[in-house]
Amino acid sequence: MTLPGIARLELPILQELVATGGADDVRFLYQRLVAYFPQITDADKHALTNGELRGWRRHVQRAGRVLDEKRQIARNKRGQWTITAQGRRRVTEEAPSFSFSVAADTQPTGSASYSHADVQQMLLDIGHALGYHAEREFDYYDVVWRASAQSQRLSHIFEVQRKGNVDAALAKLKRAYDAQRSKPFLVVASERDTNRAEMQLSLARTGAFHEIGRVTTILSFEQLHRLHRALNSVSDLLTLIFER
């Protein structure tokens, strides 16, 4: 198996650290980083879990040492890696990305008037109406749905993107998909942004987010609002249907 060059590992490491809130134990990075490289076949992945993982770990550690020397991450003896301000700056500058923005000098109308919290609340309401246990700000994710409060699996993951860089949101969705094959959803401000996001994910199928390009659903705030309004109109009936 031909491993990717050390330099190619640097940005995925930084993206993973951003997705986990800025820090993570390197033990959890080893497997997640494999998914960033489509040239690593299923047979190669099997080999990594059956004897060759030590070589991959050394490879990741070398990349971490380079990032540490560049002061883009900080490592401690317990294996905790933390992204620095310089590392975050590199993610912003180098990651292939696009941004959503709302013009500061215009009064938002329609779906653009929804705040991040408004959209989260709609997702909570929809999840509850459909019989899921829904939570916001769970384990760095904007909103998660589970089959029940006792379920360990996060069945649906939602990242809300009103403006700014979408790479961090995609990295979080990818992390959830890799960990539990959770269904990823990217919720954006407008249908125009939906089209742009779909194009980006299509291009990303040969890059860092290629695996979730096929499985991610992109919704606009207005689409979500229509669904929320429709479900609210039959909420009493849904309660009877999904009553356990």
Domains of the chain: 6-94 (1.10.10), 111-242 (3.40.1350)
- Provide the pLDDT confidence category of residue 107 given band limits of 50, 70 and 90: very low
Residue 221 has pLDDT above 70, yes or no: yes
pLDDT: is 232 or 186 the higher one?
186
- Give the pLDDT confidence score for residue 100 in this predicted structure: 45
Longest Cα pair distance anywhere in the chain, in angstroms?
Answer: 60
Gap between the terminal Cα atoms of the chain: 50
Residue 87 has pLDDT above 80, yes or no: yes
Tokens of 3: 């491993």
- Give the pLDDT confidence score for residue 198 in this predicted structure: 75
Mean pLDDT value of segment 169-179:
85
Distances (CA, A) of 230 to 95, 145, 156, 224, 233: 38, 19, 20, 10, 5
In Å, how far from its chain's centre is CA 165?
12
Measure the CA–CA gap between 40 and 196, rounded to whole angstroms.
28
Residue 84 has pLDDT above 50, yes or no: yes
Residue 231's contacts (CB-CB under 8 Å, 6 or more residues apart) are 125, 126, 129, 130, 238
Position 166, amino acid: V
Distances (CA, A) of 173 to 45, 89, 93, 240: 21, 21, 21, 32
Q: Is 84 helix (H, G, I), strand (E, B) or coil?
A: coil
Q: Are 221 and 189 a contacting pair, CB within 8 Å?
A: yes
Mean pLDDT value of segment 204-221:
75
pLDDT in tens, 29-41: 887 787 677 666 6
- Provide the pLDDT confidence category of residue 114 given band limits of 50, 70 and 90: confident
Distances (CA, A) of 90 to 67, 72, 126, 195, 231: 11, 8, 37, 27, 43
Measure the CA–CA gap between 21 and 100, rounded to whole angstroms.
21
Measure the CA–CA gap between 147 and 124, rounded to whole angstroms.
13
Element (H, E) at 83: strand 80-83
- Give the pLDDT confidence score for residue 244 in this predicted structure: 56
